A = this chain, B = another copy of it.
Amino acid sequence: MPETLTGRDDEARAEQVYQLVLEGIVAGRYEQGVRLRERELSELYNVSRIPVREAIQRLEQDGFVETFPRRGAVVRKLTLTDVNELFDVRLCLETFAARMAAVRVAAGEPGGRLQELLDDTRQAIDDDRTDDVVRLSAAFHAEIVRLSGNRLLIESVKPLFGRMRWIFGLAHNRSNELQRDEHMELCNAILGGKADLAYTLAYSHIELGREPVLKGLAETLGP
């Protein structure tokens, strides 16, 4: 049964196509390297080619597909280089976000959902809801960026978070407990307004994630 757009018809078709194809890519149903044909997708999802084109454009912008003039879109092939580049840019932006978040909290801004997300993660770990753990962990990182208050920064990391979701889905992570502990420390530093500490904690937390992901991806890549 091909998945159709029978659900909420009030939402923009392009957005729905984007979400569905993205799910397909992240879940591995669209394998790396396969062509995404406009007509194919438009028939599959019962929409015209226009929303499909828009969705593909956004998928390219978020790093999931590559398009070539007159040859359309292809699901990107993830390489170890991609992972390394992602972690390098994350180190640039997310550490700054953590510092700024701490500065703003120290200046009296509210701490947002940071603590709440942490508690939910703890619960999800206890209940062994792996998918939720991954999702909440990502939300935690996104919340820090949001707390930085820099809208351009928020825009800039969006494509990174898309890639992270994809890569973390392919390559298994290190211990959830270890990560949660680091998140807790980082959360405390931010809520305590300790900018430098937040910065270094964010740095090590991100950098500690690199090797496990590289190792995990190397396994799924080279069989």
Chain A residues touching B, range: 20 to 34
Is A150's CB within 8 Å of the partner chain B? yes
Report B-chain residues with C-beta under 8 Å of the C-beta of A188: none
**Chain B hits for A91, CB < 8 A:** 96
Closest Cβ of chain B to A96, distance in Å, is 5
Given A152-B82, A159-B156, verify A88-B92 contact (CB < 8 Å).
Answer: no
| Besides A57-B57, A152-B160, 16 other A-B contacts (C-beta < 8 A) | A50-B50, A50-B53, A54-B57, A63-B152, A63-B155, A82-B152, A85-B153, A86-B152, A88-B150, A89-B96, A89-B152, A89-B153, A92-B92, A152-B163, A156-B156, A156-B160
Could you list 26 A-B pairs, sorted by A, with CB under 8 Å?
A50-B50, A50-B53, A53-B54, A54-B57, A57-B57, A61-B61, A82-B152, A85-B151, A85-B152, A85-B153, A86-B152, A88-B100, A88-B150, A88-B153, A89-B150, A89-B152, A89-B153, A89-B156, A91-B96, A92-B93, A92-B96, A93-B93, A152-B163, A156-B156, A156-B159, A156-B160
